[in-house]
Amino acid sequence: MELYSGPLDTKEIFGRWLDEQAESNYGAYIPFVGTIRAEDDIEALSFDIYEPVLQKWFDEWQEKAKALGAVVKMAHAIGDVPVHTSSYVSAVFSPKRRVALELIDEFVEDFKANAPIWKYDVKHGKRIYAADRSTPMNGAGLLK
C-alpha cells in the first residue's frame, strides 16, 4: 500500500508494479485508475486518511487475494488532488483473468465502502465534506 501527498503519478506506479511482477508468472494484470472529474465547480477533491485502520483493511485483502493465488495493490493520495488528475489506483495480478476480474470488482467496491478515507470538495479554496457521497462503514451506529 502506498500513500502520497497530492496527485498520483499513475504511469510510474503502474509501470513499477508491472516491473516488480515481471517474472512472477501472472497471466493477468488489471489496473484501475480513479480520476477526479470536473463537476459542480470543484477545483479539486481533498482526502483525509486514517492509516492504521486502512493498513489493516488492506492486509486482510492481501490475505484474501493470496488464498486465490493473486496479489492486490493500491495507492492513494492524501490532501488536495486537482481535477483531471488521479487520487486512487489499484491493481490485481493473478494467474488467470477470471480471478483478477472478479477480485478488482470486489476490492474496489469494498474500498469505497470500508476504507477509512474521507473526501472533501474543494471550492474557492475551502474544503467541504462530501457527506452525500459518503457511506457509513460496516458496524456504523454502534454508539447511537
Partner 1 sequence: MIKVEFLGPIGKSPIEMEAKTLADVSAKLKEDNTLTDWLDKCAVALNDTMVNDLSTVLQDGDRVSILPPVCGG
Residues at the interface with partner 1 (CB under 8 A): 34, 47-48, 50, 52-53, 56, 76, 87-88, 108, 111-120, 129-131, 133-144
Do residues 7 and 79 make contact, with C-beta atoms less than 8 angstroms apart?
no
Least Å distance between CB 87 and partner 1? 7
Q: What pairs with residue 80 in β-bridges?
A: 46
* Rounded Cα distance, 53 and 111, in Å: 12
Q: Cα 104 from chain centroid? A: 11
Least Å distance between CB 100 and partner 1? 19
Cell of 44: 479539486
Do residues 78 and 49 make contact, with C-beta atoms less than 8 angstroms apart?
yes
**CB nearer to partner 1: pick between 64 and 112:** 112
Least Å distance between CB 47 and partner 1? 7
Least Å distance between CB 27 and partner 1? 27
Q: Helix or strand or coil: residue 57? A: helix
**CB nearer to partner 1: pick between 2 and 48:** 48
Reference 14, options 1, 2, 31; nearest CA is 31
**CB nearer to partner 1: pick between 22 and 142:** 142
**CB nearer to partner 1: pick between 53 and 83:** 53
**CB nearer to partner 1: pick between 21 and 35:** 35
Backbone φ, ψ for residue 135 (5° rounding): -120, 130
Least Å distance between CB 23 and partner 1? 30
